[in-house]
Amino acid sequence: MEFSKKAGLFIGPILFLILLNLPFNLISEKGDAVIAVAVWMVIWWITEAVSISVTALLPLLLFPILKIMDIGEVGANYGSPIIFLFFGGFVLALALEKVNLHKRIALNIIKLTGTTPNKVVLGFMIATAALSMWISNTATTVVMLPIAMSVIGLLVNDADGFTKSDQNFALCVMLGIAFSANAGGIATVIGTPPNSVMIGLLENEYNIEISFLKWMVIGVPFAAVMIWISYLVLVKLMYPNKQLKFSASKEVINDELKKLGAMSGKEKMVLIIFGITVFLWIFRTVINGIFPELKLNDTIISIMAAIAMFSVPYNLKKGDFIINWKDTQKLAWGILILFGGGLALAKGMSVSGIVDLVSNAIANSNISILFTAILLITLMLFMTELMSNVALVAVLAPVVAGIAIGLEIPVLYLLIPVTMASSCAFMLPMATPPNAIVFASGYIKVKQMARAGILLNLIAIGLLILMFQFVVPFFF
């Protein structure tokens, strides 16, 4: 066990006990108790002394004991509708992966974009982003990596060896996949966990609902712009491959598609259910307008899709369904618990008066709204390079909401760009699973990722400030 993990394991509870037994109150008895729990959770989250999902269970144990909330109130956060929205999304992703439809979609997108070096890079980036909107960025990267390795392998084994241009192409493909997986998730509510943590907070604490379509209206353009900029930075500025020429990549893509064979019946069924689900998510407000008694919401649609994947028979005689319960062993159950812990912590901050205290302190200060937004976006973006973005949003989102109230601006204006910032970690291999996976390919050095990543981090901050100033106020 690493020293940081060993240290974190003991420092977390020790600081918790110290904060609980201070001879004076920092805020109030209840507020100090919440701060003590939050500090313990943050220490364990940063050091990963135990699983981040296990850390998320601490409010369920400590809040009732410390009389912050009773067990029923705390437990309700672990069964919030937003958690079931994400559960349905996970089941959809599971079905896509089980029938290999995600790989077929990715290969066809790459095939469509063309086979000149830069177009291949763009194809990989578009395919990765398109998948990352619907399945986890980790799973997306795992799917794309072997395809990318096959294409790069053509350059390693060609007549002129692995030249500088070849190396730059390999770098662009690998970094492009990681950066697109991170940015692509921003496009939808279920694309990346921080989005769901924020939307859950808004629904639980402020009765503000952001529909699937409303999020996509701002999420898709931001992700698209970020991916396009990442592409230009990689192939034009940082790692150009002007002398590179090869056409065999087309054969690799075609070979991979041939291995998949013709689309199976199960793939078609998954595609139909997936298509209907996305249609309902996008047009549910129109459908509710025509059939108000339906009262459809994103969670109901998500659960409907999940149940369909388990219960629509592929072969009734054999009792063959698309997915079975044993397939859910691969489901990211820990992330669902993590959501619950984040929502419970946010509720604790609210009921103990911490959020009110923050908002009142900001209201009585003379801090510029724009400066505050820049500071919070920058803080979130660079902190997410070092710790889990879900855990970070779980801790900071309630505080950011309090700051927005103190500044007398709608909480959405500040929360949306700050939450988006948590998915813009482009600099370090340990920042996100996609970064770590492509780094493990052996084609990237830390300094190469950091060199491109720092520039993209700064560009992302600029775009998010524009989002705060103009885009979010326009749509919300």
What span, in angstroms and rounded, lies between the C-alpha atoms of 252 and 254? 5
What span, in angstroms and rounded, lies between the C-alpha atoms of 132 and 358? 35
Average pLDDT value for residue range 447-476: 95
Candidate from 66-70, 226-230, 353-357, 398-402 with smallest mean pLDDT: 353-357
> With contact defined as beta carbons under 8 Å apart, do 151 and 137 qualify?
no
Average pLDDT value for residue range 61-89: 92
- Banded model confidence at residue 350, pLDDT cuts 50, 70, 90: confident
Average pLDDT value for residue range 317-322: 83
- Banded model confidence at residue 246, pLDDT cuts 50, 70, 90: low
Average pLDDT value for residue range 6-27: 92
pLDDT at 103 > cutoff 80: yes
Burial class (CB in 10 A: 0-12, 13-18, 19+), 1: exposed
Residue 444 covered by a domain: no
pTM of the model: 0.86
Instruction: Note the pLDDT of residue 155.
Output: 67
Average pLDDT value for residue range 309-329: 87
- Banded model confidence at residue 335, pLDDT cuts 50, 70, 90: confident
- Residue 242 structure tokens: 């002007």
Instruction: Note the pLDDT of residue 75.
Output: 94
Measured CA angle at 404 (ends 473, 217), to 5 deg: 30
Give the other-Cβ count within 10 Å of 159's Cβ.
Answer: 4
pLDDT at 437 > cutoff 90: no
pLDDT at 471 > cutoff 80: yes
pLDDT at 345 > cutoff 70: yes
Residue 228 covered by a domain: yes
What span, in angstroms and rounded, lies between the C-alpha atoms of 357 and 234? 44
Alpha helices in 21-116 (DSSP H): 29-47, 52-55, 58-65, 71-77, 81-98, 101-113
Residue 253 covered by a domain: yes
Residue 398 covered by a domain: no
> With contact defined as beta carbons under 8 Å apart, do 402 and 362 qualify?
yes
The tens digit of pLDDT for each residue in 144-179 reads 888 888 888 776 665 566 677 778 888 999 999 999
The tens digit of pLDDT for each residue in 248-293 reads 667 777 888 888 888 998 999 999 999 999 999 988 888 998 998 9
Instruction: Note the pLDDT of residue 303.
Output: 95
> With contact defined as beta carbons under 8 Å apart, do 231 and 74 qualify?
no
- Banded model confidence at residue 398, pLDDT cuts 50, 70, 90: very high
Average pLDDT value for residue range 24-49: 90
- Banded model confidence at residue 40, pLDDT cuts 50, 70, 90: very high
Residue 106 covered by a domain: yes
- Banded model confidence at residue 304, pLDDT cuts 50, 70, 90: very high
- Residue 1 structure tokens: 């066990």
Candidate from 74-78, 254-258, 345-349 with smallest mean pLDDT: 254-258
Average pLDDT value for residue range 86-113: 87
Residue 139 covered by a domain: yes
What span, in angstroms and rounded, lies between the C-alpha atoms of 46 and 65? 25
Average pLDDT value for residue range 434-452: 88
Domain count, the chain: 1
What span, in angstroms and rounded, lies between the C-alpha atoms of 218 and 189? 11
Average pLDDT value for residue range 441-470: 93
Q: For a pLDDT cut of 90, what percent of the chain falls above it? A: 49
Instruction: Note the pLDDT of residue 161.
Output: 61
- Banded model confidence at residue 464, pLDDT cuts 50, 70, 90: very high
> With contact defined as beta carbons under 8 Å apart, do 337 and 57 qualify?
yes
Look at 398 and 388; give whichever has higher pLDDT: 398
Q: Mean pLDDT score of the chain, rounded to an integer?
A: 89
Instruction: Note the pLDDT of residue 162.
Output: 65
Residue 245 covered by a domain: yes
Instruction: Note the pLDDT of residue 186.
Output: 95
Instruction: Note the pLDDT of residue 160.
Output: 60
Alpha helices in 233-264 (DSSP H): 249-260
Please tell me which of 96-100, 151-155, 455-459 the model is most confident about, judged by mean pLDDT.
Answer: 455-459
Residue written as tokens 């890079």?
121
Which residues constitute the domain of residue 93?
82-330
Residue 408 covered by a domain: no
Instruction: Note the pLDDT of residue 360.
Output: 83
> With contact defined as beta carbons under 8 Å apart, do 421 and 377 qualify?
yes
Coil, strand, or helix at residue 409?
A: coil
Please tell me which of 36-50, 95-109, 221-235, 319-333 the model is most confident about, judged by mean pLDDT.
Answer: 221-235
